[in-house]
Amino acid sequence: MKKKGAEILIECLEREGVDIVWGIPGGQAIPIFDALFDSKKIKLVLTRHEQGAAHMADGYARATGKIGVCVATSGPGATNLVTGLATAYMDSIPMIAITAQVPTKLIGNDAFQEADVVGITRPITKHNYLVKDVKELARTVREAFHIATTGRKGPVLIDLPSDVAKTETEFEWPDKIVMKNYSPNYKGNPSQIKKAAEEISNSKKPFIYAGGGILSSGASKELKAFAEKTGAPVGLTMLGLGCFPGTHSQFVGMLGMHGTRASNLAMNESDLIVAVGARFDDRVTGNLAHFAKKAKIIHIDIDPSSISKSVKADIPIVGDAKSVLPELTKQVLQRKHSEWWAKIGEWQKSFPLLYSRKGALKPQYVIEQIYEMTKGKAIIVTEVGQHQMWAAQFYKYDAPRTFISSGGLGTMGFGLPASIGSQFGKPNSLVFDISGDGSIQMNIQELIIAVEHKLPIKIVILNNGYLGMVRQWQQLFWKKRYSGVDLSIQPDFVKLAEAYGAVGMRVTKEEEVKEALEKAIKITDRPTLIDFKVAPEENVLPMVPAGAAITEAIDYKDVELA
Amino acid sequence: MKHTISVLVENKPGVLARVVGLFSGRGFNIESLTVGETEDVCVSRMTIVVGGDDMILEQVSKQLNKLVDIIKVIDMTEKQFINRELALIKVAVNSGNRGEVIQVVNIFRGKVVDISSKTFTVEVTGSDDKINALIEILLPFGIKEMVRTGAVAINREWQKEETKKNK
């Protein structure tokens, strides 16, 4: 049967199992939206800014493990997706972005609302396509989904000129896709696995360093079995939180700049690091010259270019965690490592996560109360900054995909739209957006989407009147010269919430925290925003200064209790 | 160390930009780059000469391998290979030194392909060392203009035993 390009596109999305897309139309995108109008399977959510659409698709993908899809028009619509695509790319999130383009004969002509979107997004997508022939469209969409969801996942963009969207052709669904140059390796090399298993069995002080790759591989169970057999401590990257239970006795905490001292010290003192689905990011390793000098490194990752990028691996294993970990578990010897754990226990005792409840309401207290009230069962989405780190430190994540945050790119304004996307994907879950007064203002316009679709997300603003993380750096390393961080002139967030049709509350004292949260959790037909006025100059600690060795952290007691 | 990287790619628009983007995105300066069709019209071969730290170059070649339109990446430097470049050099001459210039060009098995009252245009092929040597010798005569293609490279069919084992 003959179909128009736009109809082919929508039918392909339906066949790929897409049931929701986020986007905003525009002149060149009308054919696509016209075809969406007839779809019985795909729900269209009209956002207020394309960046919101991208982050919603991203949040949906992170919460569900499915692929997120967003649609934008040519030119400014497409360029507004850029931050969202870069965010998803840095964190390996599977996404499809569809952008309309000016008609093929106008491409390169500086036409109205034209931008070289394929050129602009080339370094921030896993792959991208400009479809100039409608006959190529169905195959392109299939390839795009295949690329986005296999190997190291990531966003793929399809740029569709409006004349191609309007041209008719015979629709043929390609049953199979053959891509001779693209075939990610899932099974690890057996002899490398054998070597690794021997090293693990012989190690006296092993350390498991796991990250977001465990979540995208769906290998949480496999990781737990492996960790329990080896008896090794487990430290997680921020994006890995939830891939190993936060309440497990072998969990030593988040790694890196604001990680627990015990986790960082144990990784640095270990004689063998087993890195799985993590990439030795600079925020985790600190100064490379001093990083884990005594350790051999086993690095398991599906992306060969992640291995030996910053830290040379002694035993590289290219493969999927879900396939490699069970093989390793089979071959390693059961161990307890009592001596090693005694040492780690000392660190845990000497360097607990601390904060003082003296003075004004503390943001850490709010996070702890959210943990108590939700029994750790909520989906916690964050923006970027101090609140993000407190949410990572003071909430224990037991289940995969319950901590959702922009890690690699660190995108302020991610949280609100991502929490909306998460709630669309997980309608029965309790979803929080932990936010700061800076981040929340970066995409506040999307609040109306939660109102329109009756999404009961809970927006928690830890309001300290500053761009707090930058202020913290300025306090500690820039002689308290608070340049460009004062947010004390701000909207009344309670009234703002009410103006949008959400519920707004304000909390200024510890005694009010629990009651406000209880009230918020009971509201099920609209979003709730709680403005927590917290101590303005509270710091995220411990903190490893940029450029220092990962063991050289500044502790809470050094700064706040000195 | 200088590396000669041979990249087989799908012959379609945008591929060159993807490849070059990987280098420029890491602040690498490409010394030379050539692209042309291969025996298969759907496949092009790029020869890229680039200098830099071995670990970073390994990283770049892994990143190249990840690109969907890339078929194969070969670091020629790990093996024995033949490497040729073509240069056209416009050299200033006068009635007194024409003979000398021709002699030099002959020694380098070059050709004079254009002539005017004041210049010779010399064509020469060879490794970059050879071309550099010729340039150095022609320099005192006065080089008015010059263009070089950048290296093309192909591996030797016969490889020394130890390089085979390494592979």
- Other C-beta atoms closer than 10 Å to the C-beta of A463 total 27
- For Cα atoms B42, B47, B52, give the angle at the middle one, nearest 5 degrees: 140
CATH topology for the A2-170 domain: Rossmann fold (3.40.50)
Residues in chain A with CB shorter than 8 Å from the CB of B70 are 181
- Other C-beta atoms closer than 10 Å to the C-beta of A548 total 15
- Other C-beta atoms closer than 10 Å to the C-beta of A561 total 11
β partners of residue A300: A276, A317
Question: Which residue does chain A place closest to B24, by CA atoms?
Answer: A123
- State the architecture of A190-350 in CATH terms: 3-Layer(aba) Sandwich (3.40)
Residues in chain A with CB shorter than 8 Å from the CB of B55 are 308, 312
ipTM: 0.85
CB contact B114 to A (< 8 Å): no
Q: How far apart are CA A439 and CA A468, in angstroms?
A: 10
Sole residue written with tokens 């302020």: A412
For residue A123, give the nearest of B21, B62, B70 by CB distance: B21
Judge: A308–B68 Cβ closer than 8 Å, yes or no. no
Note the pLDDT of residue B167. Answer: 43
For residue A122, give the nearest of B21, B55, B71 by CB distance: B21
Q: How far apart are CA B29 and CA B52, in angstroms?
A: 9
Check if B2-79 and B82-153 are the same fold. Answer: yes
CATH topology for the B82-153 domain: Alpha-Beta Plaits (3.30.70)
| Stretch B99-127: mean pLDDT | 96
CA–centroid distance for A372 within its chain: 23
Question: Which residue does chain A place closest to B8, by CA atoms?
Answer: A181
**B92, two tokens:** 């200033």
Where in chain A do CATH 3.40.50.970 domains reside? Answer: 2-170, 363-540
Note the pLDDT of residue B77. Answer: 86
pLDDT 10s per residue in chain A (562 long)?
899 999 999 999 999 999 999 999 999 999 999 999 999 999 999 999 999 999 999 999 999 999 999 999 999 999 999 999 999 999 999 999 999 999 999 999 999 999 999 999 999 999 999 999 999 999 999 999 999 999 999 999 999 999 999 999 999 999 888 888 899 999 999 999 999 999 999 999 999 999 999 999 999 999 999 999 999 999 999 999 999 999 999 999 999 999 999 999 999 999 999 999 999 999 999 999 999 999 999 999 999 999 998 899 999 999 999 999 999 999 999 999 999 999 999 999 999 999 999 999 999 999 999 999 999 999 999 999 999 999 999 999 999 999 999 999 999 999 999 999 999 999 999 999 999 999 999 999 999 999 999 999 999 999 999 999 999 999 999 999 999 999 999 999 999 999 999 999 999 999 999 999 999 999 999 999 999 999 999 999 999 998 999 899 998 888 877 6
Sole residue written with tokens 């990680």: A259
Residues whose CB falls within 8 Å of the CB of residue A15, separated by 6 or more in sequence, listed in order: A173
Considering the four listed CATH numbers 3.40.50.460, 3.40.50.2000, 3.40.50.1820, 3.30.70.260, the one that applies to the domain covering B2-79 is: 3.30.70.260
Q: Of A129, A83, A152, A133, whose CA–CA distance to B18 is shortest?
A: A129
Q: How far apart are CA A298 and CA A316, in angstroms?
A: 6
Sheet order of strands, A379-382 included: A403-404, A379-382, A431-436, A458-463, A528-533, A503-507
Judge: A179–B21 Cβ closer than 8 Å, yes or no. no
Mutation for B interface: A181, A185, A301, most B CBs within 10 A: A181
DSSP reduced 3-state for A274? strand
Give the start-end residues of each E strand in A304-371: 315-318
Q: How far apart are CA B144 and CA A190, in angstroms?
A: 61
Residues in chain A with CB shorter than 8 Å from the CB of B65 are 304-305
> In this structure, what DSSP letter does residue A543 have?
B
Considering the four listed CATH numbers 3.10.310.50, 3.40.50.970, 1.10.3720.10, 3.55.40.20, the one that applies to the domain covering A363-540 is: 3.40.50.970
Domain ranges of chain B: 2-79, 82-153
Note the pLDDT of residue B161. Answer: 65
